[in-house]
Amino acid sequence: MARLRLFLLLLLALPPQPSSLLPWPDTAQGTMAGLILTALEKATLFLEDRLPNINLDGAVGFQVLEVQLQGVQKKWASDPLLQPLSLRAGQLANTLSVLLQKSIFYLRKSDPTYLREFQPSLQPGFWKLPHAWTRTNASLVYPRLEPVDSFSEESSDACLVQLLGTGTDSSQPCRLSNFCRTLMTKTGCSDYSLSHQLLFFLWARMQGCTEGLFHQSQHYIDIFCANMMELNRRAEAVGYTYRTRDLFMENIMFCGMAGFSDFYKLRWLEAILSWQKPQLGCFGKPDAKGELPEDTPHRQGVLRRVRRREKMFTDGCSCHNTATAVAALGGFLYILAEFHPDNGEPHPPAQSPESSYQDGTPNA
């Protein structure tokens, strides 16, 4: 792992490479794509190994990954130089498709209600990759935050179920009660309350909800991801203590899928790759030795809550950590594939995430 870290640090120092000199697979970006694929292949072996015990949130992370890999495979398929990478991405997507279908069988036994309510998010067609990119706007960051834990996971689940139309009252999707409207547009939330507010509007978009409040979905998405970016910067500033990591990766997963390219920072990718357990392929509790100290109780409002649906294996592997990690890494791979210089054409000049992708300096 030390060698990998050094290698990645060296990449940070590289300037963006001229597209014409090297075939893409041999560039720093191409090498990075290979490293990400290797990490994702390992994580998929972990999924396969624990399939009967993976919870729904865990499965959803891998479902997002499957969609990202299909997108990557499609982008790479047309370039003969990228055939090996394209093949790997395609094979991994196929493996995931089979595993996720099997996982539904287990989830039906272990948690049938939760499965019924959230099964749409396990359907391959539900998650849609971003087709336009933007960046967070720091002026939308809240001047102050509410006390941590603004609302419960139960409340936010109930609102998501209304949105999906999967409750027992056989209602239509896109419904919005006054309670949920107030909850999901509340300002000053942080941590998982904030990421679930974002998830609500992200799913509204995936579900095709456009009426009423959902006219302003993008407005809320802009606000929430600006604040999620701020939380991620703080997580980085405190050295990514273990308790901040899950939310850190969830924020990259969700805001990346919402099209915010500045979540894909090379140094954040480096950090996430370094957290994977090399033998098990999962993400979770760091081994006791040589790891960072836990947060002290007064640390600024970054993640303290234990998630209700978290599932921790005895070897320290976490379902939720692994799910958010693979979907974050899949997003990195997707943006790499999206912006690699295809057929010698230059990258889109405006709004290119490449500068942020390349950026190795704080506060860029």
Ligand X SMILES: *[C@@H]1O[C@H](CO)[C@@H](O)[C@H](O)[C@H]1NC(C)=O
Q: Which residues, 137 to 196, sit near ligand X by CB under 6 A?
A: 137, 139-140
Nearer to ligand X, 20 or 139 (CB): 139
Write down the least CB distance from residue 301 to ligand X, Å. Answer: 22
DSSP lists the bridge partners of residue 317 as 284
Write down the least CB distance from residue 137 to ligand X, Å. Answer: 4
Write down the least CB distance from residue 138 to ligand X, Å. Answer: 8
Nearer to ligand X, 228 or 323 (CB): 228
CB 213 within 8 A of CB 185: yes
Write down the least CB distance from residue 141 to ligand X, Å. Answer: 10
Nearer to ligand X, 227 or 244 (CB): 227
Phi, psi of 341 (to 5 degrees): -70, 90
Site mask for ligand X (CB under 6 A), range 66-95, x = bound: ------------------------------
Write down the least CB distance from residue 142 to ligand X, Å. Answer: 13
Nearer to ligand X, 56 or 258 (CB): 258
How many residues sit close enough to ligand X to count as binding (CB under 6 A)?
A: 3
Q: Which residues, 103 to 142, sit near ligand X by CB under 6 A?
A: 137, 139-140
Nearer to ligand X, 104 or 140 (CB): 140
Write down the least CB distance from residue 185 to ligand X, Å. Answer: 16
Nearer to ligand X, 346 or 348 (CB): 348
Rounded distance between C-alpha atoms, residue 162 and residue 183, angstroms: 13
Write down the least CB distance from residue 140 to ligand X, Å. Answer: 6
Q: Which residues, 277 to 296, sit near ligand X by CB under 6 A?
A: none
Nearer to ligand X, 166 or 227 (CB): 227
3-state secondary structure the chain: CHHHHHHHHHHHHCCCCCCCCCCHHHCHHHHHHHHHHHHHHHHHHHHHHHHHHCCHHHHHHHHHHHHHHHHHHHHHHCCHHHHHHHHHHHHHHHHHHHHHHHHHHHHHHHCHHHHHHHHHHHCCCCCCCCCCCECCCHHHCCCCCCCCCCCCHHHHHHHHHHHHCCCCCCCCCCCCCHHHHHHHHCCCCCHHHHHHHHHHHHHHHHHCCCCHHHHHHHHHHHHHHHHHHHHHHHHHHCCCCHHHHHHHHHHHHHHHHCCEHHHCCHHHHHHHHHHCCCCCCCCECCCCCCCCCCCCCCCCCCCCCCCCCCCECCCCEEHHHHHHHHHHHHHHHHHHHHHCCHHHCCCCCCCCCHHHHHCCCCCC
Write down the least CB distance from residue 218 to ligand X, Å. Answer: 12
Nearer to ligand X, 144 or 298 (CB): 144
DSSP lists the bridge partners of residue 134 as 260
Write down the least CB distance from residue 216 to ligand X, Å. Answer: 13
Nearer to ligand X, 170 or 363 (CB): 363
Among residues 328, 179, 300, the alpha carbon closest in space to that of 236 is found at: 300
Chain residue whose CB lies nearest ligand X: 137
Residues in contact with ligand X by CB under 6 A are: 137, 139-140
